[in-house]
Amino acid sequence: AQSVAQPEDQVNVAEGNPLTVKCTYSVSGNPYLFWYVQYPNRGLQFLLKYITGDNLVKGSYGFEAEFNKSQTSFHLKKPSALVSDSALYFCAVKSYGQNFVFGPGTRLSVLP
Amino acid sequence: DAGVIQSPRHEVTEMGQEVTLRCKPISGHDYLFWYRQTMMRGLELLIYFNNNVPIDDSGMPEDRFSAKMPNASFSTLKIQPSEPRDSAVYFCASSSWHGTEGSEQYFGPGTRLTVT
């Protein structure tokens, strides 16, 4: 069975500092990994994905994520956080023949 | 493209009433998903369709829930009768098949359902 863990319910970071939102996963085959962001009263918005190839994936709004197969992780990063990045972030995993599985979400607060 | 469209955005109803949620996927997308989001359970996949055919409805909580997709541009999720524990935000999402498993989903704005 597939699973996704986001070990932190809440991440606080000062504006201008780098941010990391953690994600680890478990699948039986090759993983396809995704990050989504949800702003208040909105649907989830796709940020980036890893399918194959370069382990460092760049996405929207300056976000990037690094796929680490040995650690089964796919952490979301941004070099310099903005107050407007404050939102709920979801990691998701899929593998062949399986449905999407979303993590529980991590609330990011960027403090001015 | 206008993105995934859901209606209504908010629905307040009394226990026992029928509720119908509507979704229009992105044109050209052949996968459609219904999710439910609550604080307690997070984001749950209820059912998904491929080319208008239901593929996996194992997430549908019980027989009170039903979903249809009569054509490629419209889907409904119906709850009959509704109960207070059905209160949640219901999302519709769609995706296209690019020949791999890696197609991202695009979500609608959601319908916030409150059952009193």
What is the distance between the terminal CA atoms of chain B, rounded to a whole angstrom?
36
**Token couple for B90:** 């219901």
Is the pLDDT at B102 greater than 60, yes or no? yes
Task: For residues B113 and A107, give the distance between their C-alpha atoms in angstroms, rounded to a whole number.
Answer: 23
Question: Is A34's Cβ below 8 Å from some Cβ in B?
Answer: yes
SS3 at position B113: strand
The neighbour count for residue B115, using CB atoms within 10 Å, is 20
Identify the pLDDT of residue A1: 79
* Minimal C-alpha gap between B108 and chain A (Å): 6
Highest mean pLDDT among A99-103, B24-28, B95-99: B24-28
Average pLDDT, chain B: 92
Identify the pLDDT of residue B98: 53
What is the pLDDT tens value at each position of chain A, 112 positions in all? 789 999 999 999 999 999 999 999 999 888 999 999 999 888 999 999 998 888 999 999 999 999 999 999 999 999 999 999 999 999 999 887 778 899 999 999 999 9
B30-83 pLDDT per residue, tens: 999 999 999 888 899 999 999 999 998 999 988 999 999 999 999 999 999 999
DSSP string for B53-67 = EEEE-TT--STTEEE
* DSSP E strands, B8-87: 10-13, 19-24, 31-38, 42-50, 53-56, 65-71, 74-79
SS3 at position B86: helix
Task: For residues A35 and A97, give the distance between their C-alpha atoms in angstroms, rounded to a whole number.
Answer: 20
CB contact under 8 A, A34 and B104: yes
SS3 at position A18: coil
A74-91 pLDDT per residue, tens: 999 999 999 999 999 999
- Alpha carbon B104 to its chain centroid, in Å, reads 16
Of A51, A90, A102, which is closest to B102 when you measure between CB atoms? A51
Identify the pLDDT of residue A10: 97
* Minimal C-alpha gap between B83 and chain A (Å): 23
Of B56, B102, B109, which is closest to A32 when you measure between CB atoms? B102
* CB < 8 Å to B42, chain A: 102-105
* CB < 8 Å to A42, chain B: 109-110
Question: Which of B44, B47, B90, B101 to substitute to test the interface with A, most A CBs within 10 Å?
Answer: B101
State the SS3 of A38-99. Answer: ECCCCCEEEEEEECCCCCEEECHHHCEEEEECCCCEEEEEECCCCHHHCEEEEEEEECCCCC
CB contact under 8 A, B108 and A43: yes
